[in-house]
Amino acid sequence: MSSRLPVDVPNSRGTLPNGHARLPDWLRVNLPSGGAQAAFNGTLNVIQGNVLHTVCEEARCPNVHDCWARGTATFMIAGKECTRGCRFCSVETLKQPDPLDADEPERLADAAERMSLAHIVITVVNRDDLPDGGADHYKRCVAAVHRRLPETTIELLSSDLDGNWQALEHLLEEIPLRVFAHNVECVPRLDLLVRDPRASFAQSLEVLRRAKELRDDLWTKSSLMVGVGETDREVTDALQQLRDVGVELVTLGQYLAPDRATAKFLPVDRFVTPEQFLFWAEEARAMGFRSVASGPLVRSSYRAGLVLEEAETGRRLVQLPSAEH
């Protein structure tokens, strides 16, 4: 696996590495130093040593330095290529990715153990080439981590399994999860612009609804990105639809276009202010969400352990990223 790091992460001056337009000051990211840099390097070494992929790298997350310096990472399983081609995502698209790696569950468990993780997020690529969408492989990865680390809480950020409800039922049956997550990504009106045609807000809502129906002991979680053409009111309406199907944890963040000159990727429509993110956070809490992370640099797995703890304790614990972190 390459040691390549995200290339669309804004630097401390608020500009992208390619010199494109200056970003607002609230999108600055400070790089780690000292002990934080050592922790970052340690996380990188564990990931590379176990031949694993992370969504931190493949999706070019702007919080990679913050999270890795804390010794946490979001692991991406079932390969590093996706069978879908959403216009916001920098993960490579292939119609026929490599076959699943039967050794991946144990390598994942080994990495989690070496990092002494108290909470682990496992995310997946879409595998529409597989009859079950990859559900059985996802389940085996979760089970392997639980066998090795029975006290570690596990969060699965799942695909929609192409609407295969039998596969969803198999995935969730007796799986040792604490959080089941699936992202709606954008407001419903923008589905066809932002997401692959095989995905939709309605189908994602149904995944979340059925997951809660199948396993009401699990926390359900979803994420919205803004800056792709939505209105403020549409974000509020999307949040309410998520709450109506029982979603309890939610994150909202700013879309940043991948740093590649291609028509595939959407341009940024607007940079939403921290104040507006705070407004949505308060709206979401008023709707009954148990935990909310809402800010320009927030991503779906942002400080996921704290998001879970906030939901379970009722205390506000999630601090948003800033230039001072």
Tokens (6 digits) for 263: 């028509």
The per-residue pLDDT for 74 is 79
Angle, in degrees to the nearest 10, between helices 135-148 and 104-114: 40
Q: Tens of pLDDT along 73-105?
A: 678 899 989 999 999 887 888 999 999 999 999
- Give 151-183 pLDDT, tens digit per residue: 999 999 999 999 999 999 999 999 999 999 999
The DSSP H or E segment spanning 261 is none
d(CA 87, CA 325): 30
Give residue 116's pLDDT.
Answer: 81
d(CA 209, CA 192): 22
pTM: 0.83
* Mean predicted confidence (pLDDT) in 198-206: 98
The confidence score (pLDDT) of residue 3 equals 29
Can you tell me the mean pLDDT for 181-200? Answer: 97
Say whether pLDDT at 282 is over 50: yes
Report which listed range, 84-88, 106-110, 181-185, 313-317, is most confident. 181-185
Q: Which CATH architecture has domain 25-313?
A: Alpha-Beta Barrel (3.20)
What mean pLDDT do residues 244-273 have? Answer: 88
Mean pLDDT of all residues in 33-60: 47
**Contact assessment for residue 43 and residue 290, using Cβ atoms and an 8 Å cutoff:** no
Return mean pLDDT, the chain: 83
199's CB contacts (< 8 A; 6+ apart) are 84, 86, 160, 185, 191
Residues in the chain, total:
325
The answer to whether 253 touches 225, Cβ cutoff 8 Å, is yes
Confidence of residue 301 (pLDDT cuts 50, 70, 90): confident
Least confident of 30-34, 264-268, 274-278, 309-313: 30-34
